[in-house]
Amino acid sequence: MSLFAFADDPNRALMAINNEYTNYRYLYPHGGMPASLEQVHKAQASEGVSVIEIRRTGNGWAFAQGSPFNRRIHGNTPIRLGGPAAGHALLRTRADNTGTLALGTFQNCANGKTPWGTYLTCEENFTDCFGSSDPRQAFDTAQKRYGAVAASKEINWHHHDPRFDLAVNPNELNRHGWVVEIDPFDPHSMPVKRTALGRFKHENAALA
């Protein structure tokens, strides 16, 4: 997480917090993997990034409920693909033939904070969210290198959401594994996946 102070008010700040992983034991009454598309969407909504405002009170700092800065960037939030890979054929899907507009960020590990006041969140174990309805699917060298498998041990969103089915949407995998830049002070801004920073299972994004 990172803290962003208000330049004109020492009693207000924003916190950007990664929501990396979903524990299905607590998310669903049955305590197991999602059993419907609705439950997959619930899992996707629980991952990503939370931006919240906090304010100093007489008892310390407290969450500012109702602040216009509060928002969630989750597994179905529209996110622009920016940088040299944007528009590449390998980033194009049936839903986005331009290869410039992805949906969602998830499996967000550590983060970074830029000198210009934006938040960097790192997509780490993104391959765990994908699988294939074809158990015999032959993955190419790049997919294998990133860790693509027909079925993960814990997540398997592809059973109910075809966007994560590599037999149906093989390029969707390529749209994840990036560093995402978010402007916490503009709740209407669209996050951007910065492809110039490379695609892999990012652990952190430190600026020096």
pLDDT in tens, 142-161: 999 999 999 887 788 999 99
Q: What is the mean pLDDT of the chain?
A: 96
- For the stretch 69-89, pLDDT in tens is 999 999 999 999 999 999 999
Confidence tier at 208 by pLDDT (50, 70, 90): confident
The 10s digit of each residue's pLDDT in 12-38 is: 999 999 999 999 999 999 999 999 999
**Assign residue 31 a region: left if phi > 0, alpha if psi is -120 to 50, beta otherwise?**
left
Q: Give 41's pLDDT tier (boundaries 50, 70, 90).
A: very high
Q: What is the pTM of this model?
A: 0.95
- How many Å from the N-terminal Cα to the C-terminal Cα in the chain? 17
Pick the closest to residue 78 from 205, 201, 207, 182 (CA basis).
182
Nearest 5°: phi and psi at 29?
-60, -35
- Strand order across the 108-113 sheet: 101-103, 78-82, 192-194, 179-182, 119-123, 108-113
Side-chain-side CA neighbours of 197 within 13 Å: the count stands at 23
